Amino acid sequence: MSAVLDRPQLTVPLSGRDHVLGTSAAVVTLLEYGDYECPFCAAAHPAVTHMLKLVPDDVLFAYRHFPLTQIHPHAQQAAEAAEAAGAQGRFWEMHDVLFAHQDRLTVRDLVGYASALGLDLARFTSELQIGAHTARVREDFLSGVRSGVNGTPTFFVNGIRHNGGFDPESLLDAIGSALSAAD
């Protein structure tokens, strides 16, 4: 249950608080800890999207925040913007937009994306201003720290840290192994 092991395990299991894509009947869960300003996460994003299209019935995908705020000055605010969109039922749309525009994540940009998604702007802006989702993002971050997330992106397949690459092939291999193990 620790980063000192070779294959750290997720210490905070997926629950109703998590943002998930796919069917809960899926045999495999794929969880990503990511940072919207991290270039490696942006590189992984299309791979994840592509992979989910290939195995839509087999995988439940979840995303948690792991912003490294001291090297990515916009990452915390971006994560909170995703949560603010999530509060209006649009987490995944904002998630996609943020990764697609990770070099434009000022508050003004974030409000622009919220507007383009048709969100309630007064509510969105207010939630960002008062930090309504700050604690939630920190909870995600700390759950990662306690699970052996040392950088981003970090993936867990059925609760075990995936130590391989994050290209579609590597992720599919890991998911294939998890499917075989479940048979």
Partner 1 sequence: MAIRQAVSKHRADALGSGTPAPDWELHSTPDQSVRLDDFRGRPLVMAFYPADWSPVCTDQMALYNEVLPEFKRFGADLVGISIDHAWCHVAFARDRNLHFSLLADFHPKGEAARSYGVYDDNIGMSERALFVVDADGVIYWSYVSPIGVNPGADGILTALESMAGVAVA
- The residues facing 161 across adjacent strands are 156
Judged by CB under 8 A, the residue of 64, 85, 105, 148 near partner 1 is 148
| Shortest reach from residue 24's CB to partner 1, in Å | 26
- Using the minimum distance from each CB to partner 1, give the nearer residue, 39 or 118: 39
Question: Angle 19-83-45 (CA atoms, 0-180°, nearest 5)?
Answer: 60
**Other beta carbons within 10 Å of 2:** 10
The verdict on 36 binding partner 1 (CB under 8 A) reads: no
Say which residues have a Cβ less than 8 Å from residue 165's Cβ, sequence separation at least 6: 171
- Using the minimum distance from each CB to partner 1, give the nearer residue, 149 or 157: 149
| Shortest reach from residue 148's CB to partner 1, in Å | 6
**Positions in the binding site for partner 1 (CB under 8 A):** 1-4, 8, 11, 67-71, 141-142, 145-151
